[in-house]
Structures are given as structure tokens and as C-alpha cells.
Amino acid sequence: MPQPQLERLAIEDVSKVYGDHVALRDFSLDVAGGEFVALLGPSGCGKSTMLNCLAGLVPLTSGRISIDGDRIDPLPPERRRFGMVFQNYALFPHLNIGRNVAFGLESRRVARSEIRARVARALGQVRLEGLADRYPSQLSGGQQQRVAMARAIVLEPRLILMDEPLSNLDAQLRTELRTELRRLHQDLGLTTIYVTHDQSEALSLADRLVVMRNGVHLQIGTPATVYTEPADAFVAAFMGYRNLIPARRRSARDGDVIVELADGVTMRGVDRGASTDEQVVVAVRPSDFTVVPAAGSDDEATGENAITCTVRVVEYQGEESAVEAEAAGGLRVHFRTTERVATGERVAVHVDPSRLLVFAADA
């Protein structure tokens, strides 16, 4: 039954102001039917606010939300026919699991026999058969999370909203349920908007990512685009570019730029909007550095695009080690390597120019 119930959800110039705090500023987003969109961003950036505006739980300050051309923002939440999964699940503690899942169907005056059949099916879909008579307090966190899912999907909503649904679970359960969510989405084809501050969750689940900061979106794109071509240094940081090194732009050549780090080392990288500015930020993922032989005691770096540094901290992580090293001028460099390095050792790390991104320095 993968068959989206809406063609297009349009969020246009939505703003939300709390007192004198702007939680959302002119936010616009188009969502196609059946799409899985993740809103990603640090705490307090307005993700929940956006979701609550969509659900009708907080009124908009300005802007429009429409589905297939019909405005829905004046509708109260109970008339929007959306499903919502809350961060703390919000299961009704006085109702058993069956009644929790049946709640929305009962509100819609669905016939008893149909309610029973649909509740059973929904509980099956989240693999909770046989728990209908338990109360929420008698379930584990993961089970409660599944009940919250079942309660939302049983209504076959035209849009399903999830606010950090996995953040209260432990790491293992989180990856397990992540797969489950993906499977449910594939089976049911429900248009989904998913809020998270966990980049790996967003990358693995979503068809499209919206990276937010301070109430505005910085980048919208497929996981691959956002991951490999972050729009700015902030998005890069969020996508795992742990090395963000201030530098000066020297020259540009066929889309590449040459930058000079604080200690005079020059490096070549991809221009990501730094062309007009002298002050830039260089972004490199720890896994994009490779360890190369250091040039003896010579302070100058060996070869092109390499930094010589002294290993300070080694975190053993199984296959690899995560290393923090110090280069000249107190610069901290983070890299990952399968080679064995020891604290105090001098190494040089190299990065391919295509993997070194140069952004305009953030104001």
C-alpha cells in the first residue's frame, strides 16, 4: 500500500516569535508526497518549533502552510489528519497499549470491529503483538517508542511528524529502531518529517536533509550532497568536519584555492565560497587525513598538502585510532588512522586537495 496521501506540502515564509526571541525566521520548504525529510540542527535552533507549527500545536506568527494548494495553518491540530510521535512518547498512562493505539480511531468514530483489526495490524507492524493489555509504565523505553509509532501510523495519516523519537534510547536500541523506521517508511510510504540533532540518524534515514541554525535553514539537499558538499563551515562542522582551521586565502587556480595556515604552511583545497574573502576556514574530516612519513626533525612539512605535528592523545577505537595532534603554533589536528602511533611521536598527515574545503570565515 505504498501510496502517499498528499502530493505536495508547502511551507512558505513561516516565522515564529516568542516574546522577543525569533525561533523561526522566514522558513520555507517543499515536501513531496512519500518523502522522508529530516530537520537537523543543534539544540534550540527551532526544529521542534517548526514541527509544532506543522502540527498546529503552536500558532504561526506569520507565513503559510498548505497541502496540495489548501491552506492548513488555520486548522486546529485535531483537524489536520497528521500523525505525531513525541520525544517522550506522550503515551496516555491511564490507557493500556491497545486503547492508546485505538485512541485516534475512537475519536474518528470508526466501527469497533475495524478498530480491533487496525490496532492489531499496527501493533504487528511495530512488532508488539500480544502486548495490547499492558500499560505504558509496564513497557521498556524501546517498546514505548514503538507504541508511539503504532499510535501515529494506525490512522494512516497523510503526514507523519517525529520529534527526536529515538533520543531517549540507548545507542544499540537506537540503531536497531532506526532500521525499523526506515523499513516502516518503505512499507507504508508515509510522508515523514523527522527532527533530530544526530547527523548519522539524519543521513541514514532521510531522502532529504534540512540543516538549521538559529531559526533559519542553512542547507537543504540529499544526504549525499550535504555530506560531501556542505554549504558553509557550520554545516561542515555538523557533518563531521572536525578540523576547522582558520587560514588566509593566497591565490586561486581552476576552482582550487591556495591557503596559508597560521604557521606559514600552504595547502590546496576546493573553493566553497571563499573566493572573495581573505579570511577563510579550512575544513577537513578526521578520516580524510592519511599519515605519511615525517621528514625527520625538519620543521617544514613533507610533500604537498601535509601538516607535521606531534601526537598528543590517542583514543583506541578498535579498527582505528582517533588521534589528536599538535602542529606548530598550537594548532590542533584531529585524524583517524589504522596505523599505530604513540603519544609524543612526530607524524605528518596528508589530505587530498579534493577533500579539503575552503569556506568564508564566519562573521
Partner 1 sequence: MTIAGASERPVRRAGGLSLTSIVLVVVLGVFFLNLAALILGVVLNSFATSWFGSLVPDGLTTRWYAYAADTFQLLDVLRVTFTVGAAVVVLSLLIGAPAAYALARRQFPGKRLVMLLFLLPMLLAPITYGIPLATALYQFDLAGSLAGVILANLVPSVPFVILLLTPFIEQIDENLERAARMCGASTPRVFAKILIPLMAPGLLAAGLLVLIRVLAMFELTFLTAGPGEQTLVVALYYTVFAAGIRPTQAIDAMAVIYMLTAFVPLLVALRFVNPTQIVARIKQENVR
Partner 2 sequence: MPERSRSLRDRLAERGIDRVLWLLLPAAALLGMLFVYPFLYGLGLSVQSQEGTPGIGNYLRFFGDDFQRSTIAKTFALAIPAAALNVGISIPIAYKLRGPVRHKRVITTLLVLPATLGTVLVAEGLIRYFGPIGWFNQLLMAIGIIDAPLQLTHNYIGVMASLIITGFPLSLLLVLGHASGIDPDLERAAATLGAGPSERFRRVILPLMLPGITIAFVLAFVAAFAVFPSAVMVGNPSGETRVISIAAYQAAFERFDYPMASAIAMIMAALQFAVVGSVFLVRSRLYRGSTSGAKG
Ligand X SMILES: Nc1ncnc2c1ncn2[C@@H]1O[C@H](COP(=O)(O)OP(=O)(O)OP(=O)(O)O)[C@@H](O)[C@H]1O
Binding site for partner 1 (CB under 8 A): 15, 17-22, 25, 57-59, 61-62, 76-77
- Site size for partner 2 (CB under 8 A): 37
Give, in degrees to the nearest 5, the angle at Cα 163 between 160 and 168. 130
Nearest to 342 by CA among 328, 323, 320, 319: 323
User: What string marks each residue from 63 to 102 as x (binds partner 2 by CB under 8 A) or -?
Assistant: -------------xxxxxxxxx-x-xxxxxxxxx------
Q: How far apart are CA 321 and CA 334, in angstroms?
A: 11
Grid cell listed for 125? 507492524
Nearest residue (CB) to Mg ion, 38 versus 122: 38
User: What string marks each residue from 36 to 55 as x (binds Mg ion by CB under 5 A) or -?
Assistant: ------------x-------
Partner touching 83 among partner 2, Mg ion, partner 1, none, CB below 5 to 8 Å by kind: partner 2
Query: What residues numbered 194-213 form the site for ligand X, per CB under 6 A?
Result: 197
In SS3 terms, 17-68 reads as: EECCEEEEEEEEEEEECCCEEEEECCCCCCHHHHHHHHHCCCCCCEEEEEEC
Query: What residues numbered 6-25 form the site for ligand X, per CB under 6 A?
Result: 18, 21, 23
44 touches ligand X (CB under 6 A): yes
Torsion of CA 129, 131, 137, 141, to 10 degrees: -20
Number of other residues whose CB lies within 10 A of the CB of residue 210: 24
User: Helix (H, G, I), strand (E, B), or coil: what is residue 99?
Assistant: helix
- Pure H helices in the chain: 47-55, 97-107, 112-125, 141-153, 171-188, 199-205, 223-228, 233-238
Nearest residue (CB) to Mg ion, 203 versus 212: 212
The residue from 1, 43, 276, 363 that contacts ligand X (CB under 6 A) is 43
Q: How far apart are CA 330 and CA 273, in angstroms?
A: 27
Task: Give the interface segment with ligand X, choosing from 36-44, 184-192, 245-253, 337-345 (CB under 6 A).
Answer: 36-44
Partner touching 76 among partner 1, Mg ion, ligand X, none, CB below 5 to 8 Å by kind: partner 1
Nearest residue (CB) to partner 1, 40 versus 58: 58
Partner touching 197 among partner 2, partner 1, ligand X, none, CB below 5 to 8 Å by kind: ligand X
183, 164 in Cβ contact below 8 A?
no
The residue from 33, 46, 98, 136 that contacts ligand X (CB under 6 A) is 46
What residue ranges bind ligand X (CB under 6 A)? 18, 21, 23, 41, 43-49, 197
